[in-house]
Structure 1
Amino acid sequence: MALIQVHSLIETLVEETNEYIAPDPYKQFFFELSLTSPVERSGNLPIKALAALDDILKTIVNTFMSCDTNKEYSDVVSNQLSFFPTLPTVHGKGKYKADGQQDKDNCRKEGYRHPTLTPGIFTVFCPHGICYGFEAMTECESPKVPFTIFKTRFHKAPDVIIYDNACNLHKYCLSREPDYFKNTRFLVDKFHWKCQIACSEGYNMERYTACVDTQTINSQINEQANAGLKRLQSQLTYMNADNFMFHISLFLSLKNREKIDKLTVNLAKNFIGNLNLD
């Protein structure tokens, strides 16, 4: 039904303009419908596109309503290369049909793997800049890494996930756990957005001007933490697993303490500044 409405809209526009080029108000709408990544729609739509959008939304709702919730999960196992002290594993990894399929359409994040060294670590931060934990990757970074962390350690999916490869992560999540991630908004951080050439504008966090949290959040916290960790690279490179995990967890815990102290001081200042002493 959604495709019928889109086709009808195209025919109407051709009849009105006698051209096969979409008028300006509709160009962005058709462009986003043509993308291979999921569409995070933002901004206003032309009136005549609303009927097509309504049918598309109905299709989306029906898709989520028919999600298969009887999935098979592996047993919970400990991972010595993963450290999330406040987020214990709640269940094992899922087994998905999509894991056996290759997606040839999505854009890919370039990764280079040293033949004997780990590709690096994957960190997760809260909106205040506190590190929840990290995982030492055993393969080049891909959407599988954050997907596994969120699905196995969070009882409820985050409301917002900011990630430099958010478009592919969104697609990866929806093809495996659509019901779990259906209310999550995926955004590309401000620094990496300029490198995105085929993603919906809905992934651009700068478009959400009415959302104070999105506009004020430090979307570069991961990059800043990685810059700090690079100073330890020469020491960490050839450590065994236990020493490697200890040194990184100690470094990040000290950074967390500095951040918490700073937040506490700012909170106290704001509280005192708002006191009515009259």
Structure 2
Amino acid sequence: GCWYLLPQIRQRPLYPHIPHDGKSELNPERSGTCRKYYDEYSKKRLTGRIMACWCSHSICYGFHCMPLAEGRNDVFSAMLTRWPEAPERVVYDYACALGPYCWTREPEFFADMQFVIDGFHSTGHTKCSTASFLKTYADVQPALAKLNSSAAECGNSGLARIQKSVSYMGQERAVLYCWVFLWIWNRLRIRSMFQRSKNAL
């Protein structure tokens, strides 16, 4: 099940010439060169939950249920099938692996997109290039230092409040429950932003 503010405008293509495309990433060869990704997701064989897409204001664009642990395909498919154009930048825990995954499959769509890891999650990416770190770009573009790179963490911590309740539900009811929760969450975030801007006048 899934729910997104953006309608689905295209299907995820199949890439028959790319080995194991679209399949779970349960070994280091499939999960790329990032050992942190493999150790935390694939190696532990974590079960799936919900993957949500957030803007920098912690407003949710949508979510979908995952049968297995979150993988690069989840993020790739969400962006490719819902966004008319690729976002300028994506901040993701494992952007070091997501970037090559996206560029290999859709080089034109993701050509100008920046894949970065926020400062909080950069710890442990010892073998990853600093070109994947948001801090590297912020050193050159100071404005990026003001980017709320923890917006997704804030949103996901909100979803954690209903995690136990959702675990006892069937898929249809769980999706509806998450939709209602996120609808209220978004409304409260927007009201808070509006109030802050009003007070600043």
What amino acid maps onto 2:110 in structure 1? Answer: F
Report the counterpart of residue 269 of structure 1 in structure 2: 199
- Which amino acid counterpart does residue 94 of structure 1 have in structure 2? P
Structure 2: which 5+ residue stretches go unaligned? 22-28
How many Å apart are 1:129 and its aligned residue? 1.9
Higher helix proportion: 1
Given residue 167 of structure 1, which amino acid in structure 2 is its aligned partner?
C
Quote the residue 1:92 is aligned against.
11
Structure 1 unmatched runs, 5+: 1-80, 273-278
The answer (yes or no) to whether the contact 1:128–1:217 under 8 Å persists in 2 is no
Report the counterpart of residue 180 of structure 1 in structure 2.
109
For 2:32 and 2:80, the matched residues in 1 are separated by 24
Indicate the residue corresponding to 1:239 in structure 2.
169
Q: 3-state SS of the aligned residue for 2:7? A: coil
C-alpha displacement of 1:215: 1.5
The residue that corresponds to 2:25 in the other structure is none
Q: Structure 1 length as normaliser, TM-score?
A: 0.62
Residue in structure 2 matching 1:131, options 54, 60, 63:
60
- What is the CA–CA distance in structure 1 between the aligned matches of 2:31 and 2:195, rounded to whole Å? 50
* Higher RCO (CA-CA < 8 Å; seq separation 6+): 2
**What percent identity do the matched residue pairs reach?**
29
Deviation at 1:242, TM superposition (A): 1.4
Shift of 1:226: 2.2
How many Å separate the matches in 1 of 2:18 and 2:11?
17
Residue 80 of structure 2: which of 132, 151, 172 is its match? Answer: 151
SS of residue paired to 1:178: coil
What TM-score does the superposition give when structure 2 sets the normalisation length? 0.85
- Deviation of 1:224 after TM superposition, in Å, equals 2.2
What is the CA–CA distance in structure 1 between the aligned matches of 2:31 and 2:95, rounded to whole Å?
17
Q: Give, as a single letter, the amino acid of the residue that structure 1 aligns with 2:84.
A: H
1:252-276 C-alpha deviation (Å, 9 max, x unpaired): 1111111101111122233x2xxxx
CA displacement at 1:99 relative to structure 2: 4.3
Distance in 2 of aligned mates of 1:260 and 1:211: 28
The aligned length equals 187
Between the aligned partners of 2:20 and 2:164, the Cα distance in structure 1 is 38
Alignment match, 1:221: 151
1:92 deviation in Å? 0.7
| Rg larger in structure | 1
Tell me if structure 1 keeps the 8 A contact 2:57–2:151: no
Distance 1:204 1:123, change over 3 A: same
Deviations 1:181-217 (A, max 9, x none): 1100110012101121111212211221353552222
Aligned equivalents of 2:56, 2:132: Cα separation in 1: 17
Q: Which residue in the other structure is 2:141 paired with?
A: 211
* Code of the aligned partner of 2:199: K
Q: Distance in 2 between matches of 1:244 and 1:134?
A: 12
Letter in 1 for 2:155: A
